[in-house]
């Protein structure tokens, strides 16, 4: 079965009883790890129980194809359900998983870790097409799910975030679930248990190099700086951002520039339009946004948003090289800005 991204967290905590094997895949490696841990925890009170858990690798299954079926059929010496964890699963092992899923049902839960698998992946199709399996996608959090993550994570230590702080955190986090949680844990330590996180607290703790590089990359695209794109994209990816989160950040920024452009086209003042945006524009970026607003018209920025949205969808669904898709889309936006 194919699990929708919005349902994946709930499924990981409480998997369907019919699913004997679950594939967890996607570009957000932190979210992959988090959901695999939730699936394992849904069966084992002690995730490291050596009698009820066994860890395999995709390469190991290729060397011994019968191992997966044998482990799935084995019984625990101490009783209770077992879990088989397969790390680094890929298309080369798709037939091995298919044979186990087509075989006799067992009480063991198989949890497989896949990479960033496209829709043409044979492993992904095996899990999505089997009534005895499920595939959980792990894409970067969008603004809505990220806001929920921030609130939930801070609430675990009794911390609340002021609206401006929440807006800032949503704009900065999201490329990787594990990294997002680590940044939020740093914020909790900074303000203390039961404290209130203000915007200045969030900026002091979460203004990391990866996020700042994305800001620079987005500004280069929106400002027509084609020469800087390749270097900034390479640096951003090297710092741990992924193409989906970069394109998402670009889309959110262009939407804000679009609001300013529309207000100016209606006779408004550009500085007032920028100051009226919510969440507020960080003061160091206001002059850049003012320059960018002067490069766009309502019609052209709407087309640029379409380019970015389509590129983000292509990265998630086509299986084509996502870096090339992202790079081409950013270049098209920068060229459109420069044409004015």
Q: What is the CATH number for 251?
A: 1.20.272.10
Phi, psi (deg, nearest 5) at residue 15:
-65, 150
Determine what percent of the chain is predicted with pLDDT higher than 70.
Answer: 96
pLDDT of residue 207: 62
Average of per-residue pLDDT across 315-339:
92
Q: What is the CATH number of the domain that holds 161?
A: 1.10.8
Domain boundary among 176, 206, 236: 206
Determine what percent of the chain is predicted with pLDDT higher than 90.
Answer: 64
130 and 198 together in one domain: no
223 and 274 together in one domain: yes
pLDDT of residue 145: 78
Per residue in 158-167, pLDDT (tens digit) is 999 998 888 8
Averaged pLDDT score across all residues of the chain: 90
218 and 303 together in one domain: yes
Per residue in 281-322, pLDDT (tens digit) is 777 788 889 999 999 999 999 999 999 999 999 998 888 899
200 and 261 together in one domain: no
Highest mean pLDDT out of 106-120, 122-136, 311-325:
122-136
Q: What is the CATH number of the domain that holds 13?
A: 3.40.50.300
Please determine, for residue 46, whether its predicted confidence score (pLDDT) is greater than 70: yes
185 and 246 together in one domain: no
pLDDT of residue 27: 81
pLDDT grade for 245, boundaries at 50, 70 and 90: confident
215 and 334 together in one domain: yes
Domain boundary among 180, 206, 232: 206
pLDDT of residue 285: 81
Domain boundary among 95, 118, 137: 137
11 and 130 together in one domain: yes
Contact partners, residue 247, CB within 8 Å, separation at least 6 = 308, 311, 312, 315, 326, 329
Give the domain range for residue 320: 209-338
In total, how many domains does the chain have? Answer: 3
pLDDT of residue 239: 76
132 and 9 together in one domain: yes
pLDDT grade for 218, boundaries at 50, 70 and 90: very high
217 and 326 together in one domain: yes
pLDDT grade for 29, boundaries at 50, 70 and 90: confident
Per residue in 222-231, pLDDT (tens digit) is 999 999 898 8
pLDDT of residue 84: 97
Average of per-residue pLDDT across 77-96:
94
pLDDT of residue 221: 94
114 and 158 together in one domain: no
Per residue in 179-213, pLDDT (tens digit) is 788 889 999 999 999 999 998 898 888 766 566 78
239 and 130 together in one domain: no
pLDDT of residue 236: 86
């Amino acid at each position: 079965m194919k699990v929708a991204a919005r349902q994946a967290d709930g499924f990981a905590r409480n998997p369907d009883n019919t699913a004997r094997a679950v594939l967890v895949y996607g570009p957000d490696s932190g979210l992959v790890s988090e959901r695999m841990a939730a699936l394992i925890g849904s069966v084992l009170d002690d995730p490291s129980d050596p009698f009820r858990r066994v860890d395999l690798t995709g390469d190991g299954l290729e060397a011994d194809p019968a191992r997966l079926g044998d482990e799935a059929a084995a019984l625990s010496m101490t009783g209770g359900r077992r879990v088989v964890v397969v790390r680094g699963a890929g298309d080369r092992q798709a037939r091995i998983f298919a044979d186990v899923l087509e075989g006799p049902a067992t009480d063991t839960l198989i949890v497989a870790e896949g990479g960033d698998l496209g829709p043409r992946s044979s492993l992904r199709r095996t899990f999505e097409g089997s009534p005895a399996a499920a595939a959980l996608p792990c894409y970067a959090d969008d603004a809505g799910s990220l806001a929920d993550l921030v609130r939930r994570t801070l609430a675990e230590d009794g911390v609340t975030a002021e609206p401006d702080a929440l807006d800032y955190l949503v704009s900065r986090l999201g490329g990787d679930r594990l990294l997002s949680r680590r940044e939020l844990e740093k914020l909790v330590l900074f303000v203390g248990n039961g404290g209130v996180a203000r915007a200045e607290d969030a900026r002091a703790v979460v203004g990391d190099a990866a996020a700042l590089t994305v800001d620079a990359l987005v500004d280069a695209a929106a400002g027509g700086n084609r020469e800087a794109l390749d270097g900034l994209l390479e640096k951003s990816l090297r710092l741990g951002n992924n193409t989906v989160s970069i394109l998402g950040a670009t889309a959110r920024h262009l939407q804000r520039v679009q609001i300013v452009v529309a207000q100016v086209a209606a006779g408004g003042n550009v500085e007032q339009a920028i100051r009226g945006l919510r969440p507020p524009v960080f003061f160091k970026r206001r002059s850049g946004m003012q320059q960018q607003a002067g490069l766009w018209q309502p019609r052209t920025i709407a087309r640029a948003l379409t380019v970015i949205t389509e590129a983000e969808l292509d990265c998630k669904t086509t299986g084509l090289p996502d870096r090339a898709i992202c790079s081409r889309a950013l270049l098209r936006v920068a060229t459109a800005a420069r044409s004015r």
